[in-house]
Structure 1
Amino acid sequence: MSRWKELPAELDPRVSQLVVRLRRLKDHGGLSMRQLAAKTGYSAKSWERYLGGRSLPPREAVEAMARIAGEDPTRLLALHEVAAEHWSRTRGVAPGEPEPDEATGSAGPSEVTAPRRSRPAVVAGAVALVLAVAAAVLLTVRFTGASGSGGGSDGHPAAASAAPATASASGSKVVYQCRVRQEDGHWYAGNSRTQDAIVAFGEAGPEVAEVQCLLDRADLSPGEIDGIFGPLTQRAVKRVQQRDGLVVDGIVGPHTWQALRGTAPR
């Protein structure tokens, strides 16, 4: 599992979200940069820039990543369209155009040889699609994911004492509870039993609530336990990463889960 460097602070959240999802697919596939290059046709150096947030990957690279990971590319490509629009406004590069190679000042070899298709007519539709999909996913996760699945995100049955998420009277907000307990030397808060899910800024759901409860247990306040990975939660995650000598990227992966589940408050 890769230990990723922190993304550039100036990176727009929409671009960060795309990069984090690409990182997640790479990690879940257990691929090295060379293996990823061989399977996608884009060089290892290019993928280092893409996954480091220093270049925006072409649409075809994103589609190839989804294909080798066995994922439906629709949502990932919609996220790419939104990220590309912002990237073009802030970096002066048109969506779908290759980024200059940092060492030579010219386009990297993979970007030159990889096929590219112009899609200016579908940008507006893609933006609407990603907003609609994101809203649907958020509602599904927040209202049904925490209490209707019957188990943890890693396939373990939920403990009988797990606290279900409850909706407020307005029906617009999910309130998570923290029922922290220790099992076999690991801490659990009743929202998720995962040990390796990648959880990052902008995401929502029971895994985020689990992170927040465990941060609160460690006296690293994440703010409200609302299942939404916002700035306060990200700041608290970085503090626990710094405390435990981990890469301080604000992204919860296997190493940070280990710190949250296995380390006593200090």
Structure 2
Amino acid sequence: MPRWKELPEETSHTERQLLVQLRRLKDHSDLSLAALASRTSYSRSSWERYLNGKKPVPRKAVEELARVCGTEPTRLIVLYDVAERARAKAPAPGRANEPSSRPRPAQPSSTAPERGQEQEQEQAPDQDQDQDSASASASASASARPGRTVPLGWMLATVALAVAVAFGAGLLAARGWDDEAPAGKTGPAAAGTGYLRGRTYECAVRRKDGELRAGHSDTREMLLDINSTGFDVVEAQCLLRERGFSPGVFDGLYDERTKDAAKKFQHAHHLVVDGIIGPDTWRELRR
């Protein structure tokens, strides 16, 4: 079986989980892309684009792949729905920093522009002064007409104010968990760093707004399966321990021990026992 291509870097976490499961299902079936195309309503090239993350896979294609491979499609449809919601919430690429396409207003021409000044300031159309006095006249005109040229002092003050506001907002966001966190907690905010693989995190589970929280993540629908990593996994591991199904480690790596603990929890709470933590399992964990 040929090795799959790496998924594009911009592929979201939820979309990546869906594609990994679809690839596994296709590999276990021993069907080639051509054979898959002959048994479904999608062409070989379409399956190649879907499974390599070049184009979002349709819901119908997910259902047909499950049917052809003889498996229950429910779990794959749950993965698809979560990925679809994530795509709907994601901002359109390039919109936030896209420069305005509206043409700039034409600048009035000057009868005697000084070199370099035509890009910085605007001279009055009726100026007949000589070149030596053009610079002083343009500066006075800019001061008298707000909106044409921004003085350097005002510009620096505006930039400094924007930096101060952004810095203050960052401090408030960083303190979001610290203001309520118990002493010794090593969550993402308390540590001041992102998730570090190989590190063990503490579990300080408490009830807030009627649900259990360990302070590492507030997700209620992130899908977790083998080799998932991050603070969402730490949160799940802590909640599993709190509910009496400890995985033994709290390092943010969804390994076999964590999956086994999740299966036992799902069985005890009459959920689908697949070891995948999704919206239904999160809801029970946070009760």
TM-score by length of 2: 0.42
- Structure number with the bigger relative contact order (C-alpha 8 A, sep ≥ 6) is 1
Q: Highest Rg: 1 or 2?
A: 2
